[in-house]
Structure 1
């Protein structure tokens, strides 16, 4: 593929990075450089924020009619549908995720646009009954201002849309900084935003490295930060946001447990467990990286898992028949292999995988789907987020023990429960410390359902109607329709 040089999208214009500074976009499949992304300077980040502020205030985007915002959101959704093949292909080119998964995720972006277009037209406050005579009190929701969105490399457009759709629908302006490993898909989405007719400055994209994101977070013109990424970085962002008392939404790491009881169809549960960890090569915050299995079915379940895992088709993620692609970037690839070594050193039993496939070139970032058995929940491999295709099998004896093990982590993003017992399913789900719990399924999300974590898995929620509250402030308005104030020192008089 011929390299293409991209530009920054700032204030509705495509601008060259200062000094022509760019960085390589490298394919995780073969190590080739396929695009050159622009590296925004501090001055260009400042420009993006200032123009976003201007679009929000002077350009009156925040006061645009809800029907106008909804109209533009629907136009964007339609353009996404028209360009879904290319948007999906570019994301796979960037991070090695399966085209069979990414295509569906990309098509769903349009549904997010349509859903939040509807919410833009139905966002309302309340009329509050007061225990005071002749007073009308009502609330309205107003946008927070300029939103900084910092997105990861594992699902670049999906996790951007989780922020973008409600932020724009509510009337905010945005400056987006995508991961340096997956910047091109976001720049291509910006092309569609431009075609849809959003006012200049409402949506801006600045690309670069960690320093780019840091400069955006530090900018005094930002009113809210929406971040998806590691817990370590999320804590730093929260600290900086706290010092300025600005809002944050943080969707961070996980070490989610998939609990398999002894009353299930083991074949079906195995399919669910494998989908929860290997479908995206383990590179999802909600990955079910710990499989807690009842001791009475542990050996049989482990055997089924290994047999199914060793039949997984690994290869070119652009091919529909492929079932697992690559790790997205070299640093993450090295991290995954390091954790596999750590698991061995800790005494976990390698049941399958654990290395680069024999067919893979040195430049490629393929890692075999890996399962470790007889893992103790105190091991690092069970407590720390690997973010790769590595599954830990942990046996348990009782329901209480399963819940205790599942909750024994600093994370609290998601969990799965596999049982035919309806009472047990509800009981266990109610006691799991996780923002999302799936029963007899796994790794399902939808624009209408809230998603987010507790403990060190984050703050706030994305998706669902309540997300509009994350991007708005409540203004309380009082109207006196009775007698004028007679005593200025006694407002009740």
Structure 2
């Protein structure tokens, strides 16, 4: 049993304003695995005040980029040294299968290294010579920190989401209040201990587990200069409205309903192996999951059969078991939500190929879902339009490639997607036509040097690499 009865505010551990501790339940069997303090508005006030003082009066924004880079490298090394502990703790809290949380640890290093490379190559201050030969002045362009950042992240991949925001924010010289989900109180308190050990100046960062109401209090706080949010599109719309009222900077990484376009010449065995990960990573609780499978009518039943065999072969069970591929949903309400969507699919007339709303036998005490596949799906159905956030896939037929692109783009979302073909150049041409922020060809991984983010209702702004770093700076021009 892990007990965290303190909050990490401004770089130090202190008593919370409330006395109650939240029980953290295992998604596997709903037993209590820990208890943790939760932040209230009074704690937010303390964290924001510490961040404000550290930015306005402290040394952090005035340190050199090289000094900030060195501290982030130290944080990266500290995290790498405890990678196994981090993976196990996130699996225990979230229900994420241990294969997934372990596999994600090297990705955290690559993500941070891409930001570090960008910071090393960044033109933090540049002198621009005038384009007009007759001009008698020159311009000095500076890239400076924005100020106090409210970083708000979801529960499904907490370390990745947290570091995608705090690393570029800190590299740019900002101070940060990181609001994390109650479900991740234990793992995010571990992150707080790593930040403490990194040696950041007092006040630079706080880590606050808190509920939605406290989160709204944070993003509305008058001393917050920018909101960086990852989460649902519904919550993102609310945050955007609050930011608009106060003219705060805002970046939003939101939901998705991504399409995987299988072209007629694709190797179906390769496609199936790739979709095992692209569509079902993290139990399907991933905004980038390719859950709309677009198949040519000429090969439609072959695709359906292959995916049916895949889903029925996946071990479902204890997330700490190395043989498990699909673990439980994070909470009972999320489990119920996914089951309701499966019922909606049946009501809409889709063909239930495998799975269904029943809980897998022997796993009734946990938040489990039977991996489910629907065929004969029309893109207008709710199960094809709305983000389910669970191991539920739909297969949609298309007539030709123009039809496939049309269907792929007929979504309010545009976060991720994929194209499968024996002809890589052909697949690349189709990928160029898709209105989405990231497209993978033949199962290629998402890199961290290029920008990541969404079109449409999938968000505003980008993360990762040099473009992600620019989300945390202001431009200043000085004319001399």
TM range (shorter): over 0.9
Choose the corresponding residue for 1:393, options 392, 395, 414: 395
Give the Cα–Cα distance (whole angstroms) in 2 for the partners of residues 289 and 441 of structure 1. 14
Aligned to 1:255: 257
What are the Cα deviations for residues 119-139 of structure 1, in whole angstroms up to 9, with x where unaligned?
A: 334332432221143312120
* Residue 300 (structure 2) aligns with: 298
Per-residue CA deviations over 1:19-65 (Å, capped at 9, x if unaligned) read 31221111100101111121212111011001011111211210111
> Which residue of 322, 326, 329 corresponds with 1:327?
329
3-state SS of 1:263 partner = coil
Query: Gaps (5+ residues) in structure 1?
Result: 480-493
User: How far apart in 2 are the matches of 1:468 and 1:3?
Assistant: 35
Deviations 1:144-171 (A, max 9, x none): 0111111111101101111111111111
**How many angstroms apart in 1 are the aligned matches of 2:446 and 2:56?**
34
Post-superposition shift, 1:74? 1.0
CA distance in structure 2 between the partners assigned to 1:278 and 1:170 by the alignment: 35
2:60 maps to 1:36: no
Aligned to 1:128: 128
CA distance in 2, matches of 1:93, 1:64: 38
Quote how far apart the aligned CAs of 1:277 are.
1.9
- Return the alpha-carbon distance in structure 2 between the equivalents of residues 187 and 355 of structure 1: 35
The question of 1:445 aligning with 2:461 is answered no
Could you tell me how far apart the structure 1 residues matched to 2:339 and 2:376 are? 19
1:95 equivalenced with 2:97 (yes/no): no
Number of aligned residues: 477
Tell me the distance in 1 between the aligned counterparts of 2:352 and 2:377. 10
Q: Alpha-carbon deviation of 1:357?
A: 4.3
Matches of 2:331 and 2:121, distance apart in 1: 41
TM-score scaled to structure 1, two decimals? 0.94
Matched with 1:487 is: none
State the partner residue of 1:472.
473
1:226 aligned residue: 228
Correspondent of 1:213 among 212, 215, 227: 215
Q: Give the structure 1 partner of residue 83 of structure 2.
A: 84
The 5-angstrom pairing of residues 13-92 of structure 1 reads: 13-92=12-91
Specify the SS of the correspondent of 1:181. helix
Partner Cα distance (1:358, 1:457) in 2: 32
* 8 Å Cα contact 1:277/1:288 also seen in 2: yes
Q: Deviations over 1:460-492 (max 9, x none)?
A: 00001121111000110111xxxxxxxxxxxxx
Contact conserved, 2:416 with 2:439, CA < 8 A, in 1? yes
Shift of the 233–298 alpha-carbon distance from structure 1 to 2, 3 Å rule, reads same
Q: Does the aligned pair in 2 maintain the 1:140–1:476 contact within 8 Å? A: yes
> Secondary structure of the residue that 1:366 maps to in structure 2?
coil
Q: What is the rounded CA distance, in whole Å, between the counterparts of 1:269 and 1:349 in structure 2?
A: 22
Between 1:77-86 and 1:270-279, the stretch displaced more is 270-279
Q: Matches of 1:311 and 1:204 in 2, distance apart? A: 43
2:275 aligned residue:
273
More displaced stretch, 232-241 vs 117-126: 117-126
8 Å Cα contact 2:169-2:175 kept in structure 1: yes
Contact 2:184/2:209 (8 A) holds in 1:
no
Distance 2:268 2:363 in 1: 36
Determine the structure 2 residue equivalent to 1:117.
116
Offset at 1:274? 2.6
How large is the Cα RMSD of the aligned pairs? 1.4
Counterpart in 2 of 1:337?
339
Distance 1:362 1:422 in 2: 44
Asked whether the equivalents of residues 76 and 113 of structure 1 are also in contact (C-alpha less than 8 Å), the reply is no
Contact 1:145–1:173 (CA under 8 A) maintained in structure 2: yes
Q: Which has the larger radius of gyration?
A: 1
Whole-angstrom CA distance in 1 between matches of 2:114 and 2:397: 42
CA deviation map 1:411-465 (0-9, x unaligned): 11111111123443132112111011111116x3332121100110000000011
Which aligned pairs between 1:281-292 and structure 2 lie closer than 5 A? 281-292=283-294
Q: Do the aligned partners of 2:146 and 2:225 also contact (CA within 8 Å) in 1? A: yes
Following superposition, the deviation at residue 179 of structure 1 comes to 1.3
Partner-residue secondary structure (3-state), 1:37: strand
TM-score, scaled relative to structure 2: 0.96
Return 5+ residue gaps in structure 2 as ranges. none
SS in 2 for 1:105: helix
Partners of 1:462 and 1:235 lie apart in 2 by 19
